[in-house]
Amino acid sequence: MARSRPLYALAVLALVLAGCSAPGSDKKDSASDTGPIKIALVDAQSGQLSSLGAWELKGAKLAVTEWNAQGGINGRQIQLDVFDDQGDPTTGTNLARKIQSEGYLAMIGTAESAVTIAMAPTLKTAEIPNITSGQSPGLVAVGSEFLFLNGPTSTTYDETLAKYIVDQQGIKSIAMITNNGSYGKGEHDAFTKALAKRSVTPVADQVVTTDQKDFSAALTSIRQKNPKLIFLGAEEVESGLIVKQARDLGITAPFAGGAPQGTPVFLNTAGAKNVEGTIVSSPYLSNDISPASKKFADAYKAAYNEDAELHGAKAYDGTQIMLTALKTSNVATGKALADAIRATKYQGLLGGFAYDNTGVGIFATSIGKIENGKLVAATG
Amino acid sequence: MQVFFQTIIGGVSLGAIYALVALGFSLVYRTMGLVNFAHGNVVTVGAYLASTFYLTAKLPFAVAMVVAIVVTAAIGLVIERVLRPLENRDFDLMLIGTIGFGIVLDALVIMIWGATGRAVPSPVQTAPLSLFGLRIRTYDLVVLAIAAVATVLLVLFLSRTKRGAAMQAVAMDHEAATAVGIHVGRSNAIAFMIGAGLAALAGGLVGPLLYVNPALGGTLGIKGFAAAILGGFGSIPGAIVGGLAIGILDSFTAGHFQGYSELVTFLVFTVIIMIRPTGVFGERTVNRA
């Protein structure tokens, strides 16, 4: 007892200190009227999902650079700091606490729904608004008023896709191959639902793991069903490997899917010849869609010497919305900033954003097709 | 039936890669009694070097592979040289040293090549062979042939050359080997060098099958390690059998258990190891740790 008393006293002291100092210092750090406005970008900069993180960073950085070049917000520069979540939810939750204690006003990222969902409770308690690039319906299910998406959810992607494939093209013999990660699971459920609405049952429904490398078994059973089209719900690299192995196995049916299937990583992994005819549901088909996207693509090319794509565009839109909200709210924090984001109407690269209560701001995608190694808008 | 055979074919090609990774683990273990935890990262380095020489320096694939193997083997020598002072002092520290080297290599790869990764087009452009409705990739046959040749060469080196015999002697009893004038340090260095070379061979060969990124070696390393244990850690034929077994097992669980395949693969692995702790070919003659 005697030994534990000083410890106990220390613990109480620590609690008291934490109780009065933490919120105070938080406020002082973030809401002070001078110094840079601190925004955290959390994304995978290493690991299998790092290409997503790299694109996100490029898009977000471009938006911040533009604002800073025009004098920032209220004369204050914007400081974008990068944190590497390694695509790992546990690392993500640690980072959520870190950006809270270091007094960041807002967060951009992550590109991985699972990581974002893991971080959401901490960010909600800390009242840090977060604009994510994830698209899993699970993000909406979290029900945090501080969580916003910079694109449509899987439901929108897959509903548009099902409409094109089943209603317009009349294809009913469809096989599915999805992974059991957060993204793949979301795609699986959303697409199955969209098919069920049209009373179509997939002829095969294969689930793979996120780091599987050999898909012979799944693909051979799909081949035996001889489908007209294969729906693909997996991230860029895995999707590419699946398509490559499918073609090696002699499967000629075209693939269809969401955002990952429109990326250069998917195309390079599978090989340009193998992805010909892939149907893609995406809110950002190419850089030539509008004057705004052309301007963005030129700036992107000038800054990074590579072609812009969907994920960079999404992050750019999300960051623009965040910065616009910071400006209209006069650099508010917490709930006031979240409300300002919700009130922001923004015409972006992906289309018109108007947030509803679920944190989703955009509800449309377009259908594209890979032709001659390039993603173009589908005709008919 | 078609699914059954096609699944085996798919498993064998990655299994050959696991076998090469397992050989590297086993060779270092039988010589030094050390588990080289940096081995997976060395595979990544080898894969990146091979893809760089192939894609950026535009060397023919075979030449790129040889250069990558030589450079990676040199890296293996460096690792051994740095860890050598620990060899007779504290073995646990040496083990941790290899983990440290793994982290350093991982970071170096990201610094040099970036985190994004790259796709390597297959060097064999011929269409897959069609046999009784089964499809066999020509590149898979190349991988299998090279893996077989590498194994035969390794076995010949260990059994027919003086240096190889010396390594075997060190593996059996390093004090007795020292007493008869065998340079233990050099023996260890050669083990590390060949191990790293095999890692580069595995990494370079797997590049066109998969996607070369910093996380590549992690997955291959774990499967390769499991393969080495399954076959009997330290055993050369064990590494081959273990690698192919893990590859085929993986392929089948993927077909039957879909999303839970990883879980089932390692459950089966655990049960086998519980029944036979020394693996298929293990005799536990090598135990210096």
CB count, 10 Å around CB of B26? 30
Residue A32 falls inside a structural domain:
yes
Within-domain flag for A366: no
User: How many domains is chain B built from?
Assistant: 1
A232 pLDDT exceeds 90? yes
How many C-beta neighbours within 10 Å does residue A122 have?
18
Whether the predicted pLDDT of A194 surpasses 70? yes
- Count CB-CB contacts under 10 A for residue B88: 11
Q: Which residues contact B52 (CB under 8 A, 6 or more apart)?
A: B113
Indicate which CATH number applies to the domain containing B98.
1.10.3470
Residues A135 and A168 in one domain: no
Residue contact A220–B114, C-beta within 8 A = no
Same domain assignment for residues A65 and A112: yes
pLDDT at A30 over 60: no
Q: Which of residues 244-273 of B touch A (CB under 8 A)?
A: 247, 250-252, 254-256, 258-259, 261-262
- Do residues A273 and A331 share a domain? no
Q: Please compute the mean of the pLDDT values over residues A150-159 and round it to a whole number.
A: 91
CB-side neighbour CA atoms (13 Å) of A168: 11
A365 belongs to a structural domain: no
Mean pLDDT, chain B, as a whole number? Answer: 87
Same domain, A277 and A162: yes
Percent of chain A whose pLDDT exceeds 70: 91
CA geometry: angle B115, A367, A218, nearest 5 deg: 60
Taking residues A120-145, report their average pLDDT. Answer: 91
Q: Which residue has the higher pLDDT, A321 or A290?
A: A321
Instruction: Indicate if the pLDDT at residue B168 is higher than 90.
Output: no
**What's the rounded Cα separation, in Å, for the pair B167 and B244?**
26
pLDDT number for residue B216: 87
The confidence score (pLDDT) of residue A377 equals 84
pLDDT (0 to 100) of residue A5: 55
More confident residue, B116 or A351: A351
At B217, the amino acid letter reads: G
Q: Is the predicted pLDDT of residue B271 greater than 80, yes or no?
A: yes
Residue range A355-370: mean pLDDT, rounded: 91
Per the domain annotation, does A122 fall within a domain? Answer: yes
Percent of chain B's residues with pLDDT above 70: 98
pLDDT at residue number A32: 54
How do A130-132 and A147-149 pair as beta strands?
parallel
pLDDT value of position A24: 40
For B171-202, the pLDDT digits (tens) are: 888 788 889 888 888 888 999 999 999 999 99
Adjacency order of strands within the sheet including A106-109: A78-84, A37-43, A106-109, A130-132, A147-149
Over the stretch A82-118, which tens digit does the pLDDT of each residue have? Answer: 999 988 899 999 999 999 999 999 999 898 888 999 9
Given CB atoms, is B217 within the 8 Å cutoff of chain A? no
Is residue B289 in some structural domain?
no
d(CA B112, CA B118): 13
Report helix, strand or coil for A120. helix
Residues in chain B within 8 Å Cβ distance of A51? 115-117
pLDDT confidence band for A324 (50 / 70 / 90):
very high
Min distance B114 CA to chain A CA atoms (Å):
9
Per-residue pLDDT of B98-135, as tens digits, reads: 999 998 998 898 888 877 778 888 888 777 888 787 88
Q: In this complex, which of B6, B116, B261 lies closest to A216 when CB atoms are compared? A: B6
Are A257 and A192 members of one domain? Answer: yes
Q: How many CB pairs under 8 A join A and B?
A: 108
What are the chain A neighbours of B117 within 8 Å (beta carbons)? 50-51, 237, 265
A349 secondary structure, DSSP code: S
pLDDT at B17: 94
ipTM for the complex? 0.82
Cβ-contact A123, A101 below 8 angstroms: no
Domain boundary among A232, A256, A282: A282
Q: Is residue A8 part of a domain?
A: no
Instruction: Report the C-alpha gap between B59 and B57 in whole angstroms.
Output: 6
Residue of chain B minimizing CA distance to A244: B209
A162 and A147: one domain? no
Give the pLDDT score at B58.
83
Q: What are the angstrom distances between the C-alpha of B95 and each of B74, B183, B278?
A: 20, 21, 21
Question: CATH no. for residue A85?
Answer: 3.40.50.2300
Q: Are residues A276 and A297 in the same domain?
A: no
- State yes or no: pLDDT of A12 exceeds 60: no
Report the distance separating Cα B248 and Cα A302, nearest Å. Answer: 48
Confidence of residue A27 (pLDDT cuts 50, 70, 90): very low
A232 closest CA partner among A255, A209, A204: A255
Residue A331 in domain: yes
A224:B258 CB<8 A: no
* Residue B289 pLDDT greater than 50, yes or no: no
Whole domain around residue A162: which residue ranges?
155-282
Q: What residues of B are in contact with residue A218 (Cβ under 8 Å)?
A: 254-255, 258
Q: With respect to residue B146, please indicate whether it lies within any of the assigned structural domains.
A: yes
* Residue B211 belongs to domain spanning: 2-117+133-275
Mean pLDDT, rounded, for B213-221: 87
| pLDDT tens digits for range B47-103 | 999 999 998 888 888 899 999 999 999 999 998 888 888 877 777 888 888 999 998
Hey, what are B258's tokens? Answer: 């879909």
> Nearest-CA distance from A113 to chain B in Å?
18
Query: Within this chain, do residues A198 and A244 fall inside the same structural domain, yes or no?
Result: yes
Q: What is the pLDDT of residues A252-301, one digit of tens each?
A: 999 999 988 988 889 988 988 899 999 999 988 888 888 889 999 999 99
**Are A172 and A271 in the same domain?**
yes
Mark whether A270 and A295 lie in a shared domain.
no
The answer to whether position B127 is within a domain reads no
Q: Which two tokens stand for residue A242?
A: 């699946």
Place of tokens 């593996």: B171
Peptide bond into A34 cis (omega under 30): no
* A150: DSSP letter: S
Backbone angles phi, psi at A146, to 5 degrees: -105, 0
Q: Given a cut of 60, is residue B273 above it in pLDDT? A: yes
Residue A6: predicted pLDDT: 53
In this model, does residue B224 exceed pLDDT 80? yes
How many separate domains does chain A show? 2
